[in-house]
Amino acid sequence: MTPSRTNPLSILGIETSCDDTAAAVVRGTEILASVVSSQDEVHSPYGGVVPELASRHHMRNVLPIIDQALHTAGARLDHLDGIAVTCGPGLVGSLLVGVSVAKALAVAKDLPLIGVNHLEGHLLAVRLEQEVPFPFLCLLVSGGHTSLYLARDWGDYLPLGGTRDDAAGEAFDKAAKMLGLGYPGGRVIDRLAQRGDPAAVRFPRARLKPALSRVAGPALSKFGPEHGRGITGTGKYGFSFSGLKTALRQFLQVQGRTTFRDEDIAASYQEAIVDMLIEPTLRAARELGLERLVVSGGVSANSRLRRRMTIEGEHFGLQVFVPSLKLCTDNAAMIAFAGAWHLARGQRASLELNASAVLPL
Ligand code: KG4
Ligand code: ZN
């Protein structure tokens, strides 16, 4: 079942899972307003998110941001069909701010409340802009996650593998911290790398053994609801970024910035991450016989990843879909959109809805 096209639902989305406070009003696939208040300046001096500071800033910002979204959309709470809020995974103190405010508004205005998994929001974000038929492979790369999913249908996502250690976004952020470039690091490294040589430093690429490769193959080569049934997949298409991070640390200690320009180090490091994301993704697409690939999450904003994944994916016979930049990083439009789908199926949360730091998709 897809969200109704004839009478699209109008949903307020609220997202506070990490360090961005976001609210949006979405009607069908139309984004009437999407406001994101970044806390980058708050966390930048620490080189990473400080959870206590994040929740305090969410508390201060969340109501003005919701007001701004409603105002921009020209919408009134009473005229909406529901309130969708991210209930996990994320920082529990941050999540609780969004969940509490969503509950309060839902009670006050007698509106349905919908709890949304942040990862489902990222996975579906591209559908706000483009029609991507199921099934598709999704590479979800953010600050907290690096995972491959087989999206078989709305609400039916099979995990195919994930990172064994750091997420790709974390690898960017930690590198930026080592180079003294502030937080969040992905965007800064991306920008710096545009003036650098990706072949200047040869950083090691982790290539994990395809532990379950015999399980895939013929049984997985057909689509349908049963597609991929029988594998949990967690080990098959793995990623690992901790070795790369250590390599950078050692590189900086031994040769460092006296021998190489920051631009070249950034471009080379970024190239290693992109290589390590592309290889298992294209292998999964081939082994599962998939024709469409969606790349989503904050790291999908990376210009090198977007360019190379599109070119190499298409060379591979894949149709590659990447959301526009504002839908890659955390936003509440994707939460409202995913929430609309759940509400259209009659799924709503009770006031018992709780925030969960670890919420599997
Ligand atoms: O999805 P997201 O906004 O929040 C999480 O759910 O984690 O992703 C944030 C991550 C951060 O690690 C940030 O450094 C990374 O996405 N990021 C980028 C770029 N823009 C954001 N990484 C590489 N290149 C970028 N242009
Ligand atoms: Zn995210």
pLDDT tens digits for the chain (361 residues)? 454 446 899 999 999 999 999 999 999 999 999 999 999 899 988 888 999 999 999 999 999 999 999 999 999 999 999 999 999 999 999 999 999 999 999 999 999 999 999 999 999 999 999 999 999 999 999 999 999 999 999 999 999 999 999 999 999 999 999 999 988 899 999 999 999 999 999 999 988 766 543 333 333 333 333 333 333 344 579 999 999 999 999 999 998 778 899 999 999 999 999 999 999 999 999 999 999 999 999 999 999 999 999 999 999 999 999 999 999 999 999 999 999 999 999 999 999 999 999 999 9
Residues with CB under 6 A from ligand 1: 18, 142-144, 169, 172-173, 184-187, 190, 297-299, 301-302, 329-330
User: Separation of 328 CA from ligand 1 center, angstroms?
Assistant: 8
Residue nearest to atom 10 of ligand 1 (CA): 143
Tell how far the Cα of 184 is from the centroid of ligand 1, in angstroms: 7
d(CA 254, CA 237): 33
Out of 123, 163, 329, mutate this one to test ligand 1's pocket (max ligand atoms within 8 Å of CB): namely 329
CA–centroid distance, residue 119 to ligand 2 (Å):
7
For a mutational test of ligand 1's pocket, the pick from 17, 94, 172, 304, i.e. the residue with the most ligand atoms closer than 8 A to its C-beta, is: 172
